Structure 1
């Protein structure tokens, strides 16, 4: 697979996730966030498991203990991102959640330097300021007006960035994208259900009322899109993966407007534009400078 093909695979994953925001938001009318996340990723794990077993048969050996532990770590980061995003959607709009979640593209280089001593490009610092201004405008021109859901969505972006960095590193090391996917889904499902048992009531009626949304995000947004992410990341860099995956913000805003009739004030759209500018700048500027320098 070429890098271009890998990036197009990641773009498809982002489009699927963008549509998933609507399903995630409407499901909260029937079921709590922990059970919703737990069920969606349980379905995803079951869907991917047969393919992971075929991958294991092809490679001739099961993943080693070190690989399994690293896959569980990715799953823990996935749980952090999925549950904070889901809790956020109970008190914010699909559009806000999509754009604030997209801030992970700014956090990816920062986490890379903190964990693996990969120094970020100098552009990350002005980009972070641009993103902060975008959040300010998206929240209505004052941080005190940010909803609790908006704050959860920003926290979610940190966890997504961590998941992208770890997934990219461990899939390259193990060459087992399907085993990683199945393990991270199972880890996320188990953690979510454990918290759900402790914190949320659930009933068969609630599950039935949210069944369509659970199946969509379980089989498509989770099972398919996350596998596409892991496969695509084998052939591209974490920052490039982040920029293509961050287009889910545009798809989320589009589906929120088309299916839920969501709108924003003028300052909100300006905030979205600044956040999108930050997402693009953090990847495009370093790449363009690299190409210009290599030309001399």
Structure 2
């Protein structure tokens, strides 16, 4: 069980790493297309690249009975994919729109508040969270504040949208936790992304003016966000959550904020202040405390 937990934690850390680096792609992509267009195209790309993986898995397990074949339940896969897709669409849409009206650092901090919301929601679902995990959550919250926040805590229009998005990301984590042990992770991720893409396409055509030339101009950030951030990372999240408490999973996924800052330091040569370094250390300390 400890080996499974370690592997699951590693998969979630890899997902957080991809999301952290992908923040640059999301920001650059918005220079060319609207938030709904960006989400619709990247989710479609993510869903499309998972189709051959599904067929490969089916071929690989055709003559072998293992956990993956036992997870091949079409009705639950479709129900789970639709549920996760709707929540994912709402959460990412609120986040993308909210980023237009607030600072990147503040957006990162508010989004990561799901580390507090998830265990609170878990109480209503009769999921016990021990004292050590609550202490880890509080340490992570302080770390996130030092890492992301540099201004006022006043709630603006953009902040409110992102906070609402964090609530739906919390719902998403809990729904993934419910379905991840029942169905194939790749199928669940593929259906989720396809549903999110179709839902994003509606406001894309109603509220925005999508042009093929603009989408082609944003090909690099869209492909990165589609293939790695959506196709790979969200599949890793679903598979990684199978053997972990959702609160611990949310803590590991919140390292996305740390990775984004470190990526800016390494790739873009941005400076790291002492305050940000302390925030990074506290975040990693919180994860270690929760995992030990």
| Fold shared by both chains (TM-score > 0.5) | yes
Determine which of 9, 12, 15 is the counterpart of 2:11. 9
Unaligned runs of 5+ in 2: 62-68
**Within-5 A mapping of 1:245-256:** 245-256=253-264
1:294 paired residue number? none
Change in Cα spacing, 1:266 to 1:280, as seen in structure 2 (3 Å) is closer
Alpha-carbon separation, structure 2, partners of 1:124 and 1:80: 27
Moved more, 46-55 or 57-66: 57-66
2:41 paired residue number? 39
Alpha-carbon contact 1:48-1:223 (below 8 Å) kept: yes
2:98 paired residue number? 88
Alpha-carbon separation, structure 1, partners of 2:216 and 2:223: 11
Determine which of 169, 177, 200 is the counterpart of 2:208. 200
Deviations 1:13-61 (A, max 9, x none): 1110001111101111110000100100000000112222444563389
What is the total number of aligned residue pairs between the two structures?
Answer: 281
Change in Cα spacing, 1:203 to 1:170, as seen in structure 2 (3 Å) is same
- 2:180 is equivalent to residue 171 of structure 1: yes
Aligned to 1:91, what secondary structure does the other structure show?
coil
Alpha-carbon separation, structure 1, partners of 2:221 and 2:72: 33
**Within-5 A mapping of 1:112-127:** 112-114=122-124, 116-121=125-130, 124=134
2:230 paired residue number? 222
Change in Cα spacing, 1:103 to 1:241, as seen in structure 2 (3 Å) is same
Change in Cα spacing, 1:134 to 1:70, as seen in structure 2 (3 Å) is closer
Change in Cα spacing, 1:194 to 1:203, as seen in structure 2 (3 Å) is same
TM-score of the superposition, structure 1-length normalised?
0.80
Q: CA RMSD in A?
A: 3.3
Unaligned runs of 5+ in 1: 289-296
Alpha-carbon contact 2:40-2:201 (below 8 Å) kept: yes
